[in-house]
Structure 1
Amino acid sequence: MKKVKITVLKTTFQEDLAKEYGIDDLGVCPILNEGEVYYGDWAKPEGFCDEAWKAIYQYVFALSHGVDNLFYYGDWIKKPGIAIVSCNDGLRPVIFKLETTDIESTSDD
């Protein structure tokens, strides 16, 4: 099993939805920042958002276990070993790039 590199590509904010449904002064995700990098496999990386992990872990798990073909029959991402995914916060979703690495996972990680 290999580690998967998790890069925070974008922190977004749906202003129109937040204005109607969100609390006052809601803004972009307060936990994750663009450019941050984490490494995961079967376990959530330290400091990573619990809710974001729930939304992306199945892709991390698949990539860490050697999925080397394209997800969804090649009609989503054009590069093998890559997934672009987001957390499930509809008002301030965070977009991630997941990519396979050659870093071996150990039970100590």
Structure 2
Amino acid sequence: MRSKVKITVMKQFLPKDIFGHDYTLVSGKTVSSCSMKEGSEFISDGSGNKPEGFCPHAWNSIFKDAHLLTWGGGYPETIGEGKSFGVCPDGLRPVIFKLERIKE
């Protein structure tokens, strides 16, 4: 049975957190924070489509974990039943997500 998955933004890192200072692109523009805000929640409906308002780059990274949880899989021996963690691989401002299967 296909389940929905709740995605919670757990932690957002700024360039200053990673490099110890702001990061300026070659263009001269300073890298700003990601638009994903800590504590924000999104629901994956199990269709494989990106949740509305979710970053496409981040979705591409965590889709495999959302898909695994949607179809009943998981990591019960390590992370726990029905949950996973994923990260957006933006090296200048990564974001950590918690994914949880929704039991209906």
Residue 87 of structure 1 corresponds to: 88
Name structure 2 gaps, 5 residues minimum. none
CA contact (8 A) 1:4 1:60 kept: yes
**Mapping of residues 1-109 of structure 1, within 5 Å:** 1-15=2-16, 16=19, 19=23, 24-29=29-34, 31-40=35-44, 41=46, 42-70=48-76, 74=77, 77-103=78-104
TM normalised by structure 2 equals 0.80
| CA drift at 1:19 | 2.7
Residue 106 of structure 1 corresponds to: none
Name structure 1 gaps, 5 residues minimum. 104-109
Percent of aligned positions that are identical: 35
- Residues 20-45 of structure 1, C-alpha deviations (whole Å, 9 max, x = no match): 6575321220x211111001122110
TM normalised by structure 1 equals 0.77
CA RMSD of aligned residues (A): 2.1
More helix by share: 1
Give the Cα–Cα distance (whole angstroms) in 1 for the partners of residues 93 and 75 of structure 2: 30
